[in-house]
Amino acid sequence: MDRDYLMKLHIYIFRHGETTFNRSKRFTGRVNSRLTDKGIEQVDLVAEKLKEKRFQIAFKTSLSRSSDSLGRILKYHPECKRVIVDDRMIERSYGDLERKYHKTVIEKYGKRQFDIWHRSYDVPPPGGESIEMVERRVLSFVKDLITLMKKDKVNSVISAHNNSMRPFRRSPGASSGRTKKGHSVTWARAGSAKRRSPLPFTVS
């Protein structure tokens, strides 16, 4: 690993582990849902991957699955003295759909409407948020995060949610690989086998 890369600041972001609502295919959104045994195993796997990394500041949301997942990561990191709650990266609100089973929504409204509410970029579910709305608040968080990291020269770790992770890839200057200028963003997503190994990104 070259010296230039080692001198960069790093963000380690991961998704919380599987919850009881994830397992039973229910819309979770802003509802608290505890980690399953599988979810705990997923987070512990990420904790092992991040064991040798160093970060001085941590971020979580006010939802228990974010907090509980971060706690399992931080037990290996006494160097991390600051934990900040920032709900700009909280999970997408599914409004009136929260707590409902996916199959119940499909049976009542049809698969096409379910897909629109579940995956559309700019159409929110009733009383909830679209992905576009989530993106706006998350990008505001990313901007402030990078400013803070540059000012204090610290690495950070973020316990995020599925929908709040996506805008990180769309943040200005984010790209895969390494560059001679910028800051490395490393992804380590619990809950997805493809994301269990950290992946490097850069933010200029």
Q: Hey, which residues are catalytic here?
A: 16, 91
The partner residues of 26 in beta bridges, in order of sequence, read 101
User: Which residue stretches of the chain are H helix?
Assistant: 3-6, 20-23, 37-49, 64-74, 102-109, 111-119, 131-152, 162-169
- Residue 39: which region, alpha, beta or left (left: phi > 0; alpha: psi -120 to 50)? alpha
Q: CA-CA distances (angstroms) from residue 136 to 9, 31, 121, 133?
A: 24, 21, 12, 5
Q: How many CB atoms lie within 10 A of CB 65?
A: 28
Q: Which helix (H) or strand (E) holds 194?
A: none
Of 159, 158, 167, the closest CA to residue 134 belongs to 167
DSSP secondary structure letters along 171-198: STT-EES--SSSEEEEE--TT-GGGSS-
Among 81, 90, 71, residue whose Cα is nearest residue 163: 90
199 has which bridge partners? Answer: 187
